[in-house]
Amino acid sequence: MAEHIVSILDITPVTHDVKRFTLQKPAGYTFVPGQATDVAINLPGWEDQLRPFTFTALNEWDTLEFTIKIYDDHPHPSVTHQLGQLKPGNSLILHDVWGAIQYKGEGVFIAGGAGITPFIAIFRQLHKEGRLGNNKLIFSNKTRADIILEPEFRAMLGKNFINTLTDEAFPGYDHHYVDEVYLRDKVKDYRQHFYICGPDAMVAALQPIIRKLGGESVIVEL
């Protein structure tokens, strides 16, 4: 398994608990939007603590980017907590690129919280190529403050960017879990691609619902 040690060039807050990490890009390192790699922190005691993160940059950029939710409430120091302590000049260890979600065609994207990250580069690439079409994004978060890259998604998708908040009622945002009732209201055509990424319980609950509503023609990408 190839390893690449890359310096952190910049760290920028995205939300109250999400940060954007901009990194050096190794020569010849390529990926497809939606793909991921295993990442470790290049500090003593952390080098073998690998975690998967999705690239949120585009492959043509000169730098790499990860958009990472920082978990500071775990009982033991976590990798993301340690990432949250890093500064530009620190370095990470990247490994081989691997599968994750890849774009198969126009459809409905459903994301829960940090599950949006595999979709960021996909939508950026489609936007750059003028191929957003009628792709729709349903984004579920606990509160408005948790929404990752809201201005960018609004600019790209317009009315096809649908936000629902589960723990907060806020004017202009839906206040509902993504369940069968909600999907029936928001999606009329189920004979298209469906892309789902979010907490395990959310994904497990939505798969049978979408298959029920759409039959055999529905593709669920995990």
Phi, then psi, of 182 in degrees rounded to 5:
-65, -45
- In this prediction, residues 30-42 reach a mean pLDDT of 96
Count Cβ atoms below 10 Å from residue 212 Cβ, excluding itself. Answer: 11
CA distance linking residue 207 with residue 110, whole number of Å: 11
pLDDT tens, residue by residue, 163-216: 999 999 999 999 999 999 999 999 999 888 999 999 999 999 998 999 888 854
With beta carbons less than 8 A apart as the criterion, state whether 7 and 89 touch: yes
pLDDT at 77: 72
Residue with tokens 């950026």: 124
Q: Domains, the chain, ranges and CATH?
A: 4-98 (2.40.30.10), 107-221 (3.40.50.80)
Which residues are CB-contacts of 99 (< 8 A; sequence separation ≥ 6)?
35, 36
pLDDT at 125: 98
Whole-structure pTM over 0.85, yes or no? yes
pLDDT tens, residue by residue, 95-148: 999 987 889 999 999 999 999 999 999 999 999 999 999 999 999 999 999 999
